[in-house]
Amino acid sequence: MAAPGKLSALTAGRIKAAGMYGDGGGLWLQASGSGAKSWIFRFTLNGRSREMGLGSFSTFTLAEAREKALACRKLCAEGIDPIEARQVQRGEARLEAAKAMTFAECASAYIESHKAGWRNTKHAAQWQATLNTYANPAFGNLPVQGIDTGLVMRAIEPIWATKSETASRVRGRIEAILDWATTHGYRRGENPARWKGHLQNLLPKRSRVRRVQHHAALPYSEIAGFMVDVRSQDAIAARTLEFAILTATRTGETIGAQWSEIDLASAMWTIPAERMKGGREHRVPLSAVAIDLLAVLPGPSGGPFVFPGGRRGKPLSNMAMLELLKRMDRSDLTVHGFRSTFRDWAAETTAFASEVVEMALAHIVSDKVEAAYRRGDLLLKRRELMEAWAARCIGSGQR
């Protein structure tokens, strides 16, 4: 490698033509031809030739560029790649700066950068709410680089046995935020919130501590008598509950139903993906009983919603059916519990395949089953299922 000194400040400043102009010692001046010039250090280490940018000619003088090149040559003499050494130095500088970057700030940045890809604003609000409740009190104001296993355990261990599902979500969200911080250079090292091979050694499996709380459900043997009581109630909430039971749908899906989603000619209710828990469109074959029920409602002239609320243009309140159950002295039941009634009835008294029942409940099934559904095979079977369920609900097949 030739000693430096081939260039002078004057000649370097006069260079206009595009090309590489050597100063010696691995230092080169690169001219683009458009007037832009920069300093380059060329070196060979372990048989590998590399180029390293040393900055703009307009920023660093020839003397300063030679100092930079000298420092690089010294590293090469020690067997150290100057490019890799600079990356390490910059990473350390970012970590130093990140000492003021708290976990709470990283969490806010993570949510902001990801919320555009989430289904709705409610999801972002849920993230922030759980972090504010469980993570931030434990270490929200601490530097993200300082978050360790002990702090993560402080946030989730107190609720692991009593609120296992929430605790699992919190752990996953902390893990995601710390991974984001690591990718951005705000922290280093293993993720203390990871489950596999780490927290699983400190906490019991959720399956061993989870206390399953089933929604209060009516035995299917009592559904016909209960439906008689519901039909005797002269209230829109009663028609809504009746429809929810007949279609085995969730509260939100039922009260949000719009006339534009219902095709009376084909007896089909198509719930758009954005209103479904699973995030995918769901088609509900409507039984003859369900169609008859819709016929007694005001129809599109009463507004866009099938089950309108007290204010025009608004759906029925999500509490209306629960209030109805209270008035009927059936506070022992929940609306969601009727989906369990439907499932128990189908499993114990019919020959319908479990995949058909799961699809009727809008549960996620395998891709193979989903493909069959898209061809229409399961849709036809589900129509038979819903007609059989309607017959059970009205008792002895009488409408």
Three-state DSSP class for residue 35: coil
- How sure is the predictor about 212, in pLDDT bands with cuts at 50, 70 and 90? very low
Confidence of residue 217 (pLDDT cuts 50, 70, 90): confident
pLDDT, tens only, 58-76: 899 999 999 999 999 999 9
Lowest mean pLDDT among 140-149, 202-211, 219-228, 245-254: 202-211
Q: Which of 66-70, 151-155, 288-292, 307-311 has the lowest mean pLDDT?
A: 307-311
Output the pLDDT for position 89.
83
Mean pLDDT of the region 305-319: 88
Domain coordinates in residue numbering, the chain: 9-97, 101-209, 220-394
- Mean of pLDDT over the chain: 87
The answer to whether 399 and 387 have CB atoms below 8 angstroms apart is no
Dihedral (CA of 178, 179, 183, 189) sign? positive
Q: What is the DSSP string of 284-327?
A: EEPPHHHHHHHHTS--GGG-SBSSB-SSTT-BPPTTHHHHHHHH
The token pair at 86 is 């600079």
How far is it, in rounded angstroms, from Cα 160 to Cα 173? 15
Q: Identify the pLDDT of residue 1.
A: 53
Question: What percentage of the chain exceeds 90 in pLDDT?
Answer: 61
**What band does 359 get if pLDDT is binned at 50, 70 and 90?**
confident
In this prediction, residues 24-42 reach a mean pLDDT of 90
Percent of the chain with pLDDT over 70: 89
CATH for 220-394? 1.10.443.10
Query: 75-114, pLDDT tens digit by residue?
Result: 999 999 999 999 888 877 676 665 568 999 999 999 999 9
**Residue 117 vs residue 243, higher pLDDT:** 243
Contact 42, 28 (CB under 8 A): yes
Q: What one-letter code names the amino acid at 356?
A: V
Q: Is 20 exposed, middle or buried (0-12, 13-18, 19+ CB in 10 A)?
A: exposed
pLDDT class of 339 with cuts at 50, 70, 90:
very high
Residue 186 has pLDDT above 70, yes or no: yes
CA distance 112 to 184: 15
Of 106-115, 203-212, 323-332, the least confident: 203-212
Is residue 285 within 8 Å of 382, Cβ to Cβ? Answer: yes
What's the confidence (pLDDT) of residue 318? 84
CATH number of 101-209: 1.10.150.130
Mean pLDDT across 322-327: 93
Supply φ then ψ for residue 173, to 5 degrees.
-70, -40
What digits encode the pLDDT tens for the residues 250-278? 999 999 999 999 999 999 999 998 888 87
Residue of 284, 308, 280 whose CA lies nearest to 364 = 280
Tokens of 369: 């089953």
- Nearest residue to 243 (alpha-carbon basis) of 315, 190, 170: 315
Which is more confidently placed, 98 or 46? 46
Question: Are the C-beta atoms of residues 227 and 245 closer than 8 Å to each other?
Answer: yes
Question: pLDDT digit string (tens) for 347-358?
Answer: 999 999 888 898
Is residue 372's pLDDT more than 80?
no
Q: What is the pLDDT of residue 229?
A: 94
The CATH number fitting domain 9-97, selected from 3.40.190.10, 3.65.10.10, 3.30.160.390, 3.10.20.740: 3.30.160.390
